[in-house]
Chain A
Amino acid sequence: MEERFEELAALSALGMLEGDEKRTLDGVILRDRALKTLCTELEATVAELAGAVAPFAPPAALKGRIRAKIRSRRTGAAKYSGNYWAFTGWAAAAALAVSSAWLWMEREKLQTNLQSATAAVATEIEQTQKAAAEQREGLEKQIAALNGEIASLQKRDALAQMRIATLQTTVEGYKQGVAVVVWDSEKHQGVLKLEKMPPVQVGKDYQLWVVDPKQPVPVDAGIVRVDSTGFAKVDFKPVTEVTDASKFALSVEKEGGVPKGEGPIVLIGP
């Protein structure tokens, strides 16, 4: 046998081999029976060296500690039975009875715990649902209030952009007449309502004008024809965009209207 392998075997027996050397020896042992035998014998030789060491009695309590440790370990406890086989059956039966009683009590306890837990969970769910319903109701009220507020604001806003003007006259014959303009400054359009207006002469029409200070002349808002009772209600929109409708005027013009006022103004306002 090669000295190299004897060396590895000796070092291995003393537990000194590490890494590559250990792997080398393990590999060779697989196919070299003589080397394997040598390893075994050298291991035994090393172990025998312990026989040369002076014995020393361990503390008396240590034995008890070891036995207790073996008993306390689950696997060991089952195994550490001794020779008292005669008692094994009774011990097993007693253990089974105790275990059964214990399991029954545990089952009862678990069932009670489960019922309590279920009731507690049900109560909690009920409370949660109630709280959620209350919260939902509160939110719905809040939403309704907000919607109302929004509607009110929209209405207020709508009114804010609306302007109502009553046209007045100093001309005799028109003092009975009533003229009201509702002007939507955002849409730049309006409604004119006339009542008790005297009829115009043949070949003439009433024509509405919007006075905008930014424009040099009043802006044409269209002709207005009244019925036999002097009533008219017309939607109008000036021919050019009006940014500031400061006044409204009604004049008598040629039939079909004119682009630029020529006739007398019979009503003006506000």
Chain B
Amino acid sequence: MSPNEITEEELLQRVARGDSRAFDELYDRLSPRLYGLLRQMLHDERDAQDVLQDGFVQLWDHASSYDPSRAKAFTWAVMIFRNKAIDRMRALGRRTRLVEAASLEHATLGDGDSLPGADEDVQTRERAEIVRSALQQLPAEQRKLVELAFLKGLTHHTISETLDMPLGTVKTNIRRGLMRLRELLKGGRDGGAI
């Protein structure tokens, strides 16, 4: 983003006022990251496109509820799109379960470079590196559980059953992993117990 470029937060606030040009611009900036996320969550191009469409319509409708003092625009958008993807997975039910076994194996974050067609800016690439780096610092089990919960929208009970892991262990690892990520993404490198 050039210094003169409008931030995503400002664009979202303009969208809240009904600015369709701002919406177009925001779509161009957010959609590759959000579409990438949806593809990885849903493992289906068509489902990912449907959710992306519904998500942006909702973003247009509810942009006025965005509070820039509480979250970045991308963070706010991820909450919308991820919830929609989870709803989609739960609605698909059986089909999701059929691919679940296979998809669990691939439920990993930050496992490669951008795919063709993506247009990342420097800041996005840098932020992605920070998140990937933070994930790499987590113990393997914590990382695995956080990724499963994040990408698959599975409850701790389902994860416990699927992985044949005690429920308490699942919850503890998720708590520790997420608390550690929070510190790392805030810039903390205190090296405390994980």
Contact = CB atoms under 8 A, between A and B. Distances in A.
The binding surface of chain A is classed by DSSP as helix
A18 B114 CA distance: 35
Contact of A45 (B124, B153, B181): B181
A44 B178 CA distance: 11
B109 interface: yes
Contact of B36 (A14, A41, A47, A54): A54
A55 B114 contact: yes
B174 A69 contact: no
A81 interface: yes
Interface residues of B, number: 73
A52 B118 CA distance: 14
Contact of A14 (B127, B131, B150, B185): B150
A71 to B, nearest CB: 9
Interface string A45-68: 111111111111111001101110
B27 to A, nearest CB: 6
Interface stretch (A3-11, A89-97, A166-174, A201-209): A3-11
Interface string B18-44: 111101100110011111110110000
A65 B57 CA distance: 10
A55 B178 contact: no
Contacts of B147: 49
A66 B78 contact: no
Nearest to B33: A55
Contacts of A27: none
A115 B49 CA distance: 52
A41 B182 contact: yes
A-B pairs, top 10 by smallest CB distance, nearest first, are A57-B117, A52-B110, A55-B32, A55-B118, A47-B78, A47-B75, A82-B20, A52-B131, A56-B36, A58-B35
Given A53-B37, A62-B31, A73-B57, 19 more contacts: A16-B156, A18-B155, A41-B186, A45-B178, A47-B74, A47-B78, A49-B131, A49-B150, A50-B33, A53-B36, A54-B40, A54-B110, A54-B115, A55-B35, A55-B114, A56-B118, A57-B116, A59-B49, A67-B20
